[in-house]
Structure 1
Amino acid sequence: MDTRNRHRNQCEEYARLDRRPYFERKARYEVAADRMRRGGLCDRDIVVDVGAGYTELDVCLRVDHGWRGRYVPVDGWLDGTDLEVWKPEDTFGWFAALEVLEHLKDPGRLVEEFKAKATRGFVITTPNPNVVDVLAMDPTHITPLSRDVLESWGIYTTVHKFYGRHEDGIAGLWTREPVR
């Protein structure tokens, strides 16, 4: 079995793990949609959802926010993409990486790719290691990311309730132009 198919199979196993219902996970999509809208998201923008999974960010943007732009999912489960080495082939308005960075050995590398290829900006969400044991949440979590680390990368952060505990999640926004 080649590496791409092996990776796709690993992602398929991950996708089969028990998931909380959409309405419980929706908070992260709402925060991401809000941050992108504050950053100027418009219907002419392309959003690349890195680690898209079930493409629920697209559902939230379209159903709850009336967005009509182009949505591009990138995910090992969908297409065999290995995010440890993936590089965007072109520039796009927005990147989103929701609950992704903590799964990577070198999340800073992907953040630098976003900065190089985003014409508007990017959003991220991740568990807050100051509130929850990130490594114990999921066997594929390998890199806890604090607000301090994210902010040192130039990402504006806020804390939220994503998993059932006060301030247990972090949302981050980076934009090429200052947010008004």
Structure 2
Amino acid sequence: MAGLITGEGATVDHTRVREAETYLRRPRGTTYAGRRARYDAAADRLYAAGISNTDILADVGAGWTELDVCLRVDWGWRGRYVPVDAWLDGVDLNQWTPPRSFDWFTALEVLEHLEEPERLVRTLQQHATKGVVVTTPNPQVWDVLAMDPTHVCSISAATLQNWGFQTGLLTFYGKHEDGIIGLWTR
């Protein structure tokens, strides 16, 4: 698995794997049904932009891989799904570059965790043959840095638009238009 995610000959960073496992195993205030709004929104954008059953989607910061569940169970998608996350091999998304191109990339609730989110966005855009979908909390509604101790930046819809994304405001966390979704296509 390390070869697919981090490149041939890469070693697994076991410390980062343990940290990611600890983060994912912490008590969460919502259920899958509560988080599903962001997965449905991403699926909606992917389908509107033309994702097909022959496409490969790399889910960057895949966490519990719930986007895969949503796409397959609720949307009937049968493409190939590639999770990219620290719990697999300790990947550091602040420095990660995909080992190859993929049709689609998603980064749902990931960018706010990165020191330089634009670097990852530009990297995904360079490696996407069809497009990229991202979501992030809306800083006009939430104090993004106070939402989670691992949040290090907040990203506005205007910032995503400057990076080439079409954006929309949706409700992901219980407050009106508290989330931002962005779609970039080649």
Q: Is the 8 A contact 1:156 1:172 kept in 2?
A: yes
- Identity among equivalent positions (%) equals 58
Q: 2:27 aligns with which of 18, 24, 27?
A: 18
Partner of residue 123 from structure 1, selected from 121, 129, 133: 133
State yes or no: 1:111 paired with 2:121. Answer: yes
CA contact (8 A) 2:144 2:151 kept: yes
1:39 equivalent in structure 2: 49
Cα distance in 2 for residues equivalent to 1:167 and 1:86? 30
Q: Determine the structure 1 residue equivalent to 2:101.
A: 91
**Match in the other structure for 2:184:** 174
Contact residue 47 and residue 70 of structure 1 kept, 8 A? yes
Q: How many residues align?
A: 175
SS class of match (2:104): strand
Q: After TM superposition, give the deviation of residue 17 of structure 1 in Å.
A: 2.0
> 1:3 Cα deviation (Å)?
8.0
SS in structure 2 at match of 1:48: strand
Q: Do 2:61 and 2:110's aligned partners in 1 also have CA atoms closer than 8 Å? A: yes
Which residue of structure 2 aligns with residue 140 of structure 1? 150
Structure 1 runs (4+) deviating above 2 angstroms are: none
List gaps (5 residues or longer) in structure 2: 1-10
Q: Does 1:6 align with 2:10?
A: no
Measured in 2, the distance between the counterparts of 1:110 and 1:52 equals 15
Cα RMSD (Å) of the superposition?
1.1
> In the alignment, what sits opposite 2:172?
162
**Secondary structure class of the residue paired with 1:61:** helix
- Maintained 8 Å contact 1:28/1:162: yes
Q: What SS does the corresponding residue of 2:81 show, helix, strand or coil?
A: strand
Preserved contact between residue 53 and residue 78 of structure 1 (Cα < 8 Å): no
What is aligned with 2:8? none
